[in-house]
């Protein structure tokens, strides 16, 4: 009877999944940041500190929903005419127009001339991916190789994004561990020695992970060589307003390069400056030499976007659009941004004060206040970083990068004294 049932079953279900089907799929390592966060959450120690997360926290170590976002959410909730229909492939038109003006400037000549193509993306990560995918398909590469120059170091996701579209990452000197600042000479040397027409990914402000940015004079020198060599600028702007507290100031480099005529694109994110981490609101802006070229670029971006996500999500884009297009809401948003940036700057100053004036921690700690934005490269060794995590329950990446937003008045002294002990070798 059992054999007969097996025979009948095999007639109706002739195929079965082999247990060996995925035997050749290697087990990928977990993402380092998410692994760090998981370890922090599993830790029961009452003084634990999470300095790995790339998201803003208030002075009570809680996620902060911007007051202006709360207000706009109420407006959306009480607008019956809004529906849940698909957005156009390239995104909410009111959003793309406003986002372009925010990063490129309301008086941008490139926008006025119709040379800017903007597509709404899945936050900054999606903008990076779509920009990389577009270049992999259509950029006039030098020679047979598709390569992009990334800063050393850079955001961990950058090399993965480019590798996934067949563009090999190369690296240009950026951070100088001796000075804990910018390796400007090394940067310029790479720009000069790279083949003409090379693609350089450049952090627009608040460099991740170092917090080290060029000065305006240095930006000018970088732009000159980019123009001279015909290099392509792949700008990643994840922290506009979040770095200095001033939206225009943090967009200066991008606007300057556009004005100078550098061939470029810009990846834009509203995760940090609007606190819309989970809503995935971003945009890709490609600046073309003419209006006709911009129209062709848009046609191909539409094809690529359609095949990947079809249409971007509407909720976060509507929030940002309302903020950008209403003068009162925009001013309130700027105040919220100033609050976040100001708290980070205050934490930098307080940490510097404790280390230098109270603890007299060995070494020079000027970089703590000289660096800008969410992250700081402390300059400590991997062994010291591991000691902080294993012995003091302070979670940070092994390269010594800390998220300044994880510090607050309740834990900054504990972190400072632990850091001091780690540096002295007494932790």
Please choose, from the candidates 253, 252, 250, 241, the residue with its C-alpha nearest in 3D space to the C-alpha of residue 202.
Answer: 253
Q: How far from 105 is each of 37, 102, 250, CA to CA, in Å?
A: 37, 5, 11
Residue 13 predicted with pLDDT over 90:
no
Find the catalytic residue in 48, 64, 155, 365.
155
Residue 19 predicted with pLDDT over 70:
no
Rounded to an integer, what distance in angstroms lies between the CA atom of residue 398 and that of residue 41? Answer: 18
Find the catalytic residue in 48, 213, 219, 272.
272
Provide mean pLDDT across the span 367-383.
92
State residue 235 phi and psi, 5-degree precision.
Answer: -85, 130
**Could you tell me if 228 and 263 are in contact, meaning their C-beta atoms sit under 8 angstroms apart?**
no
- Which residues, 6+ apart, have CB-to-CB distance to 132 below 8 Å? 148, 161, 162, 164, 165, 167, 234
Provide mean pLDDT across the span 405-424.
96
Q: Specify the DSSP class assigned to residue 319.
A: H
Residue 336 predicted with pLDDT over 80:
yes
Say whether 36 sits in a helix, a strand or coil: helix
Q: Which residue has the higher pLDDT, 36 or 286?
A: 286
Is 155 one of the catalytic residues?
Answer: yes
What integer best gives the mean pLDDT of the chain?
Answer: 94
Provide mean pLDDT across the span 158-187.
96
Rounded to an integer, what distance in angstroms lies between the CA atom of residue 199 and that of residue 197? Answer: 7
Residue 15 predicted with pLDDT over 60:
no
Query: Tens digits of per-residue pLDDT, 121-131?
Result: 999 999 999 99
Specify the pLDDT at position 5.
60
Confidence tier at 108 by pLDDT (50, 70, 90): very high
Confidence tier at 67 by pLDDT (50, 70, 90): very high
Is 41 one of the catalytic residues?
Answer: no
pTM over 0.85: yes
Specify the pLDDT at position 9.
58
Rounded to an integer, what distance in angstroms lies between the CA atom of residue 119 and that of residue 175? Answer: 32
Q: Please state whether beta strands 232-237 and 199-203 pair in parallel, antiparallel, or not at all (unpaired).
A: parallel
Query: Tens digits of per-residue pLDDT, 225-283?
Result: 999 999 999 999 999 998 899 999 999 999 999 999 999 999 999 999 999 999 999 99
Rounded to an integer, what distance in angstroms lies between the CA atom of residue 249 and that of residue 170? Answer: 29
Is 217 one of the catalytic residues?
Answer: no
Alpha helices by DSSP H, 145-215: 157-163, 184-193
Find the catalytic residue in 236, 250, 336, 420.
236
Confidence tier at 10 by pLDDT (50, 70, 90): low
Rounded to an integer, what distance in angstroms lies between the CA atom of residue 25 and that of residue 297? Answer: 37
Radius of gyration of the chain (CA): 24
Q: Which two tokens stand for residue 259?
A: 């004005």
Say whether 152 sits in a helix, a strand or coil: strand
């Amino acid at each position: 009877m059992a054999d007969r049932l097996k025979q009948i079953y095999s007639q109706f279900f002739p195929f079965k999944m082999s247990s060996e089907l995925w035997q050749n799929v290697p087990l990928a390592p977990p993402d380092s940041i998410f692994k760090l966060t998981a370890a922090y959450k599993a830790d029961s120690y009452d003084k634990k500190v999470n300095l790995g997360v790339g998201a803003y926290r208030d002075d009570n170590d809680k996620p902060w929903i911007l007051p202006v976002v709360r207000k706009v959410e109420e407006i959306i909730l009480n607008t019956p005419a809004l529906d849940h229909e698909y957005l156009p492939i390239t995104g909410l038109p009111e959003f793309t127009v406003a986002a372009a003006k925010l990063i490129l400037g309301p008086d941008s000549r490139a926008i006025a001339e119709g040379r800017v193509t903007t597509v709404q993306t899945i936050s900054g990560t999606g903008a990076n991916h779509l920009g990389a995918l577009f270049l992999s398909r259509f950029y006039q590469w030098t020679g047979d190789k598709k390569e992009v120059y990334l800063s050393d170091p850079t955001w961990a996701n950058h090399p993965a994004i480019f590798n996934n579209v067949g563009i090999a990452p190369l690296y240009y000197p950026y951070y100088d561990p001796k000075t804990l600042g910018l390796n400007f000479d090394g940067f310029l040397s790479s720009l000069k020695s790279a083949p003409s027409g090379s693609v350089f990914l450049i952090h627009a402000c608040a460099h991740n992970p170092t917090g080290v940015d060029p000065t305006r004079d240095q930006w000018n020198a970088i732009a000159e060589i980019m123009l001279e060599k015909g290099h392509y600028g792949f700008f990643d702007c994840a922290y506009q307003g979040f770095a200095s507290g001033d939206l225009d100031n943090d967009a200066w480099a991008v606007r300057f390069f556009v004005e100078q005529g550098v061939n470029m694109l810009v990846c834009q994110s509203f995760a940090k400056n609007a606190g819309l981490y989970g809503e995935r609101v971003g945009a890709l802006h490609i600046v073309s030499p003419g209006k006709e070229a911009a129209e062709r670029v848009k046609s191909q971006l539409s094809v690529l976007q359609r095949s990947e996500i079809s249409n971007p999500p509407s909720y976060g884009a509507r929030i940002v659009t309302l903020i950008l297009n209403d003068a009162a809401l925009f001013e309130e948003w700027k105040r919220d941004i100033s609050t976040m940036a100001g708290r980070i700057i205050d934490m930098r100053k307080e940490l510097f004060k404790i280390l230098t004036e109270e603890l007299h921690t060995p070494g020079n700690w000027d970089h703590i206040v000289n660096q800008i934005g969410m992250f700081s490269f402390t300059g400590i060794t991997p062994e010291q970083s591991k000691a902080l995590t294993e012995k003091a329950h302070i979670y940070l990446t092994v390269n010594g990068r800390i998220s300044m937003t994880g510090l607050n008045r309740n834990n900054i002294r504990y972190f400072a004294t632990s850091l001091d002990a780690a540096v002295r070798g007494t932790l």
